Amino acid sequence: MNPLIAPALPFDMKPRAREAVRDLKLQQFVGNATHLKDTQRGGIFDRDFGAEYDALRTVARDTKQYALDHLDELLERFIANAEKSGATVHAATTGREACDIALSIARAHQAHGRAQSCVKSKSMVTEEIGLLPAFEAAGIKTLETDLGEFILQIDGDAPSHIVTPMIHKDRVATAKSFVRELGARYTEDPTELTMIARAHMRGLYRAADIGVSGANFLLADEGSAVICTNEGNFDLSVGGPPVHIVFVGIEKLIRGARDLAPFLKLLARSGTAQPLTIYTSFVCGPRRAGEHGGPKELHFVLVDAGRVGVLASEKRDLLRCIRCGACLNACPVYRKVGGHSYGSMYAGPIGAVLTPELERAQGGANASQSGAGLANYPDLPRASSLCGACYEACPVKIDIPKFLLHDRTRLRERGLSPKSEGATLALWRWLAERPTLFRMAIGAVRLHARMLGQKDSRDERAWLTRVPGPGAGWTQSRDLGVATGESFREWFSKRGSR
């Protein structure tokens, strides 16, 4: 698997974050794109839902939470209805099992001289289970058909955003890859580049033996899957090949189409500020008698890979996530460090809580211990300013800051916090209990900050670019603004004497 999203554990976030902050191009791309998407998201909800936006989020939150609270019933109903439609349902406890199921389906077709090539629609869970390396190792040539994922695939790169996977790459890199890998003529025009990719993939669609996709929702009443794309690549991936496999995490289940509208109205608006994705596709069973096109076999692989453990834990809420990417776009930390800093296919605020939790739930012997997954990702709970922008942006109201704080507590309990953190807090407490000393200390800090602060040419404020001693880490990748004017205490005592 690609070490960018499946790094050696325990994972140290800091070197990657430092590198990302120094990369001016990445700062520009990711910063601009996320800021724009975040603004557009606010705009479309204002326009279409106004004051009722919050009520819509509450409906979506409760509808999805209902599904999780009744997941056993829904799962049973889904399996029965999917089988009634002619689909085959499989279950995988681990990612490895999920891959093995797909490989055995492929082998059954290899026996008939097929299953040498696969067209794959974008799916987070297949990244999670490492399907692509497993298929390649078995000699099944696999094509990522989502344009962004395709460009990452030919570059040996990995997605850095849930919705816009190649947010960290530019047209120049794409142009060079297309010359190198596809023998295309050099062009930096995004339309021409897109058409080169289109032409390349058309032939591969026609020839493919297996189609693979994820799913955005599973409908228990109908036994069908709902897949949202803008490019139409899912429809082509499922329409041509004789076999289609849908990999899907069990948390994607909802009661049925009767509960779908709130999620569809929130998903595309939250992710890309569209009313709906261009294609919202429903798949219900294999092709039927007399029909032209569509798979002769349709398989669902229901993936656990830690989800059952999360369902049983106090973090059940995390499974409400519909992977819209809004929290990434809203997050001041993601905007600076980019997706690869999180060492997971799930980046940003939701990734910071979900990645250690899925790891814990799959952790074998220590699986029941809260905090076991954190030992492998000790930096993630701290990769947040706890500003709450992620919670505000979340269409299903997952209280991400609450879970980040919860994880920070677990880190301290297990002695996984840096020693300086405990020492700093102890010093703070000691000072705070001694008012005179506290005042003097604060005064000294203010004085030093003013002496060391440097005026920025951009504005009139003074900034500290390098703090000495224990504060050095803080200014390694950012500047600290110097407080100007009177202090709160000065202001408060003046106000009191009025």
Q: Which stretch binds other proteins (CB under 8 A): 192-200, 342-350, 432-440, 459-467?
A: 192-200
Q: Which stretch binds other proteins (CB under 8 A): 13-21, 82-90, 440-448, 458-466?
A: 82-90
- The least distance separating other proteins from the CB of residue 304, rounded to whole angstroms, comes to 6
- The least distance separating other proteins from the CB of residue 140, rounded to whole angstroms, comes to 20
Q: With both helix axes pointing from N to C terminus, report the angle between 419-432 and 435-452 in degrees, rounded to the nearest 10.
A: 120
The only residue of 9, 31, 35, 36 in contact with other proteins, by rule CB under 8 A: 36
| Kind of pairing between the strands at 279-283 and 480-481 | unpaired
Q: How far apart are CA 331 and CA 384, in angstroms?
A: 8
Is residue 109 within 8 A of residue 243, CB to CB? The reply is yes
- The least distance separating other proteins from the CB of residue 495, rounded to whole angstroms, comes to 44
In the bound state with other proteins, the residue whose beta carbon lies nearer, of 191 and 457, is 191
Q: How far apart are CA 126 and CA 145, in angstroms?
A: 14
- The least distance separating other proteins from the CB of residue 429, rounded to whole angstroms, comes to 35
Phi and psi at 379, nearest 5°, equal: -85, -25
- The least distance separating other proteins from the CB of residue 337, rounded to whole angstroms, comes to 20
- The first and second tokens of residue 444, run together, are 């000294």
Phi and psi at 92, nearest 5°, equal: -130, 125
The only residue of 1, 2, 29, 141 in contact with other proteins, by rule CB under 8 A: 29
Is residue 377 within 8 A of residue 11, CB to CB? The reply is yes
- The least distance separating other proteins from the CB of residue 284, rounded to whole angstroms, comes to 6
Q: Which stretch binds other proteins (CB under 8 A): 17-25, 108-116, 193-201, 452-460?
A: 193-201
Q: Which of residues 278-307 bind other proteins (CB under 8 A)?
A: 278-288, 291-294, 302, 304
In the bound state with other proteins, the residue whose beta carbon lies nearer, of 171 and 434, is 171
Q: Which of residues 89-148 bind other proteins (CB under 8 A)?
A: 89-93, 97, 145-148
In the bound state with other proteins, the residue whose beta carbon lies nearer, of 262 and 381, is 262
Site string for other proteins, 301-340 (x = CB under 8 A): -x-x---xx-xxxx-x------------------------
Cα R_g (the chain), whole angstroms: 25
Phi and psi at 119, nearest 5°, equal: -110, 130
By the rule CB under 8 A, 360 interacts with other proteins: no
CA-based nearest residue to 247, from 135, 128, 71, 338: 128
In the bound state with other proteins, the residue whose beta carbon lies nearer, of 7 and 148, is 148
The only residue of 52, 136, 413, 490 in contact with other proteins, by rule CB under 8 A: 52
| Kind of pairing between the strands at 253-254 and 217-219 | parallel
Question: Which amino acid makes up residue 73?
Answer: E
Q: Which of residues 56-75 bind other proteins (CB under 8 A)?
A: 56, 58-59, 62-63, 65-66, 68-72, 75
In the bound state with other proteins, the residue whose beta carbon lies nearer, of 79 and 405, is 79
The only residue of 10, 43, 139, 275 in contact with other proteins, by rule CB under 8 A: 275
Query: What count of other Cβ atoms lies within 10 Å of the Cβ of residue 409?
Result: 14
Site string for other proteins, 206-245 (x = CB under 8 A): x---------------x-x-----xxxx-xx-xxx-----
Site string for other proteins, 245-274 (x = CB under 8 A): -----x----x-xxxxxx-xx------x-x
In the bound state with other proteins, the residue whose beta carbon lies nearer, of 13 and 162, is 162
Neighbour-count burial of 415, counting CB atoms closer than 10 A to its CB (0-12 exposed, 13-18 middle, 19+ buried): exposed
Q: How far apart are CA 345 and CA 172, in angstroms?
A: 24
Q: How many residues does the chain have?
A: 498
- The first and second tokens of residue 16, run together, are 């990657």
CA-based nearest residue to 241, from 208, 279, 271: 208
The only residue of 39, 194, 420, 493 in contact with other proteins, by rule CB under 8 A: 194
- Cα dihedral: 202, 203, 204, 205 (round 10): 50
Long-range contacts of 407-410 (CB under 8 A, 24+ apart): 407/353, 407/356, 407/371, 407/374, 407/380, 407/381, 408/381, 408/382, 410/370, 410/371, 410/374
